[in-house]
Amino acid sequence: MGTAPEFEFCVVIDDDDDILMASRLLLRRLFRDVAIANTPDEALPLIAARTPDVVLLDANFARGATDATEGLAWLDRLLAIDPEMVVVMITAHAGVQVAVTAMKRGATDFVSKPWSNDRLLATVRTAASLRRSRSATNAPAPIAGGSPLLGASPAMARVHSLIARAAPTDANVLVLGENGTGKELVARELHRQSLRADKVMLTVDLGAVSEDLIDSELFGHVKGAFTDARTDRVGRIQAADGGTLFLDEIGNLPLRLQPKLLTVLEQRRVTPVGANKPVPVNIRVVAATNLPPEKLRDEAHFRQDLLFRLNTVEIDLPPLRERPEDVPELIDHYLEHYARRYARPVPALSPAARRALLTHHWPGNVRALRHALERAVILARDVPLEPDDFALVPAAARVVAAAPAPPPAPDDFNLERVERRLVEEALKKHGYNISLAAAELGLSRAALYRRMEKHGL
């Protein structure tokens, strides 16, 4: 019996019925619902009715077309409808330049027909994880065209000052901070205020990419470089040429690949896997990690010469508990935002509810505050919101939850079966949220993905 899919909804747009049927059957492993359409016009009502985690878009629809003009035009139109839409382009006539063009115009990734099923699943899973990450961490539209990073506390004033000074330069920036503090928002703000703002910003979430695919994802590969390398694949580093490359969860970059990234940063050239000739690149790198400084500066975990290259400027994003004076602004802003999103009146807060929100520890930071407010807006009645409407976990309960009673000893001591069962239970417990399940198991997201693939989950 299979496990529940990780994601909700995917749309595949292709003029080949065989491709549609094959991809629909395959992608049901990842998505609860996979909708198919022969043309983008047919897909628009599907996309309008439900926000897809991923859209797979064919690059050519007209008979005999091979230049991807039509697919690129539809890519622009889809991103105009929803700038946060995650689009993976597919084509049977893909050259590296088409792939680069697609990603510079906003495509999240690119696959070629005929594809390897494992490669397609990995590519789409990474893309869907990116959409989930954006939904979890992105703030709503900036107020009056300003920064989406809310807060005027001294701690946030320092962050804004560092961004303003570093952004116009080409200096690499390392953003440190706990989960939920908004590290991707800092990266986007650095790009928005940079001289590269009119160029592409590409994101690679190294915590969501299987370790054996990171090499190809970052550096690309040429046809025949390994068993499943059926076509050339442009890497994110090359695709970001001229713009900004955001390396999220940089602490998950395997030690074996760290010298290769260091070489790229030093020489400004990238060599795809299996290629003999390097390709020049002009990129600005922003990296982020939630690793504690002592682990990041441990040579056994992260090369210090690479760290030196990445943190020309270092921005330490404070947790919400260290800037409580920003919480009132965040509360008011997100209540108004979610009220608009769900067409509800802005709910009032009782004095007790506001006091509870202001004094809560917020271990999940701004992300957790946003989720609590969104839930309350959705479930609000025509009365002031009370503390119970926010499902806040008291500090004492968190301490108890952090040290649960040990589980009973299993009857089956086979390590493979025990590992599979634990992974399944963690996934089910957290509704197949990979980040939460990985944290529960004491793994990185990449390590959890590897175990899921190993056990067919």
Would 145 be classed as within a structural domain? no
Would 143 be classed as within a structural domain? no
Residues contacting residue 88 through CB under 8 Å, at least 6 positions apart: 54, 55, 56, 57, 107, 108, 109, 110, 111, 123, 124, 127
- Tokens 């040990």 locate to 406
* Angstrom distance (rounded) from CA 422 to CA 429: 10
Tell me what pLDDT residue 401 has.
Answer: 45
Instruction: Give yes or no: residues 313 and 335 share one domain.
Output: no
Instruction: Give yes or no: residues 310 and 422 share one domain.
Output: no
Instruction: Give yes or no: residues 61 and 174 share one domain.
Output: no
Domain boundary among 318, 347, 368: 318
Would 271 be classed as within a structural domain? yes
Residues contacting residue 265 through CB under 8 Å, at least 6 positions apart: 172, 285, 306, 309, 310
Instruction: Give yes or no: residues 37 and 119 share one domain.
Output: yes
Tell me what pLDDT residue 123 has.
Answer: 83
* Angstrom distance (rounded) from CA 67 to CA 97: 10
E strand or H helix that includes residue 264: helix 258-267
Would 151 be classed as within a structural domain? no
Would 55 be classed as within a structural domain? yes
* Angstrom distance (rounded) from CA 44 to CA 24: 18
Instruction: Give yes or no: residues 194 and 233 share one domain.
Output: yes
Total domain count for the chain?
Answer: 4
Instruction: Give yes or no: residues 225 and 332 share one domain.
Output: no
> Could you tell me what percentage of the chain is helix, strand and coil, using 3-state DSSP and rounding each to the nearest 5?
50, 15, 40
DSSP 132-174: HHHHHH---SPGGGS-S----SHHHHHHHHHHHHHTTS---EE
Instruction: Give yes or no: residues 399 and 382 share one domain.
Output: no
CA dist list (Å): 373 to 169, 179, 354, 370:
37, 18, 11, 5
- Tokens 């050339």 locate to 232
Per-block average pLDDT, block size 10, for the chain (457 residues)? Answer: 74 90 90 92 90 90 77 90 87 65 82 78 82 57 55 92 94 93 92 90 82 82 71 82 92 92 93 87 94 87 93 94 94 91 90 93 89 89 87 58 51 75 81 69 71 72
- Its sign, for the CA torsion 165, 169, 170, 171, is negative
Instruction: Give yes or no: residues 301 and 185 share one domain.
Output: yes
Cβ contact 60:91 at 8 Å: yes
* Angstrom distance (rounded) from CA 437 to CA 414: 22
CA dist list (Å): 205 to 32, 131, 307, 313, 447:
23, 11, 18, 20, 13
Instruction: Give yes or no: residues 177 and 309 share one domain.
Output: yes
Question: What's the CA angle centered on 428, arms 422 and 431, to 5 degrees?
Answer: 140
Total count of residues recorded for the chain: 457
Amino acid type, 342: Y
- Which range of residues forms the domain containing residue 408? 395-457
* Structure tokens given for 84: 């946060």
Would 252 be classed as within a structural domain? yes
Instruction: Give yes or no: residues 341 and 455 share one domain.
Output: no
Instruction: Give yes or no: residues 196 and 64 share one domain.
Output: no
Would 454 be classed as within a structural domain? yes
Cβ contact 213:122 at 8 Å: yes
The CATH number for 46's domain is: 3.40.50.2300
Neighbours of 259 (CB within 10 A): 12
Domain boundary among 295, 318, 341: 318
The CATH number for 309's domain is: 3.40.50.300
